[in-house]
Amino acid sequence: MNRSKQTKLFVGLVVVIALVIGSAPIWQHYDEVISKVSGVFSGGFGIITKPSVNETLRVVSEESATIDVVKKVKDSVVSVVETSIAFDVFNGLTQQEASIGTGFYVGDTIIITNKHVVSDTQSTYSVVDATGERHAVTSIFRDPINDLSVLTVENLSLAPLEMGDSSSLQVGQTVIAIGNALGRFSNTVTKGVVSGVGRGIVTSGGLGQFQEELDGVIQTDAALNPGNSGGPLLNLDGQVIGVNVAMSVGSENIGFAIPSNTLTQLITDFKSGTVRQRPLLGVSYAIITPDFARNSEFPEGALVRQVVSGSAADEAGLKVNDVITQIDGQAISEDTSLSSIILRHKVGDSVSLTVYRNGSYTTIDAVLKASAE
C-alpha cells in the first residue's frame, strides 16, 4: 500500500471512529473500534489511549497508602525546641527559643532525633506534640558514633512508631518523609523514592559548627528542608526505615537518612546501658583523588596532615605526609573514606595500614583507641 493510500485510509478511519462514537460517551465504543483497525497501522501513527485499569488502580492505591501512613504516624512526630540564654546589650541576659528540628516517639519515654539538633550542651530542650502541648526533655544521650540522639521525655501518651528493616530497601522504593519544615511548618509531608543506599557523606551544621562523616546512609529524592532533621523516613507500611539527617546544599531533591537498623541498635544499646565508644585512629587527612595522583608524586589515598599526640596513629609511628592507601587490604578513595573503614571496627581492634612514605610502601599496625568525644 503506497503512502497516498495509507493517508486516505487513516483519514477514513478517523471519520469512521468519529461516526461510531457519535453522541455516545467518548470511551463507550473505543476499544471495539481500535481492536478492528489496530492491524492496519505499522507504527506510523500514534493513537492516544485511555489509562489502563491497572495503572489507575496502582496510582490510587499508592495515594491511599500514603494518606493512611500519614494518618497513622503524624501524631507520633514532634517538633524539637531549643531554649538558650543570650546576652543583649540593652536587656542583658535574655531567654531565646527556636524550633530547630524534628523527632519521633519510639516508646518507653524515648524520642529520637539527630545529634546536631541537640548539640548545644548549654541549652535546654523540649518537644511539642501535634496538639501543641509542650513536654520537657529530661535527659539526652548523644551517640558518639552516628548523628543520632536519644531524648527522654516523661508522661508522653503517643503511639510508638514501628521500626522497619532498612537492609531490605530497594532503589526505587517509595518513601515518605515527615518533619518540621523550616522550623515553622510541623508535620510537613513529602514523598519520593530511595535513590541509593550505602552512601558516604560529610554533614555540616553550617559555618563549620557541626561536622560529621556518615557511612552507609540512604539517599532519597523526597524533599527535605532545614527543620526536617531528626524526622522519620517511612515506607508505605508506615514503618521507620531511616532518620532524616541532611540535604545536599545547592542540589534539589537530594536528601539523606541514617538507616533504621543503625537506630535499632542504638536503642537496644541505650536500653541495656551499653556504652558505645567511637574508635579513633587519630589523624586528620585529605583525600588524594585520582586526578591529583596522576599529576603528583603521591598515590591515591589519605594524605596525613596531622597526627594526634598519644593516639593510635602516634603510637604506631604514622607521620605527617604519609599516605595511607589501604586499611586491612581495602583501598581508601573518595567513595570509601578512611573514617568509614575505621568506624566498622571496635575500640581495641588492630588494623593493618598500607602506607606510602618517601617513595616506598610499608605496612604499619595500629590498635584503635576510643574517641574522647
List, by residue number, the catalytic residues.
116, 147, 229
- Helix (H, G, I), strand (E, B), or coil: what is residue 156? coil
CB 27 within 8 A of CB 50: yes
What gap in Å lies between CA 74 and CA 123, rounded to an integer? Answer: 27
Task: Count CB-CB contacts under 10 A for residue 50.
Answer: 11
The kind and range of the H/E element at 72 are helix 53-73
- Helix (H, G, I), strand (E, B), or coil: what is residue 182? coil
Provide Rg for the chain, Cα atoms: 29
Of 160, 172, 175, the C-alpha closest to 237 is 175
CB 183 within 8 A of CB 127: no
b/e string for 303-319 if b means 16 or more Cβ within 10 A? Answer: bbeebeeebbbbebebe
Cα torsion 316, 317, 319, 324: sign: negative
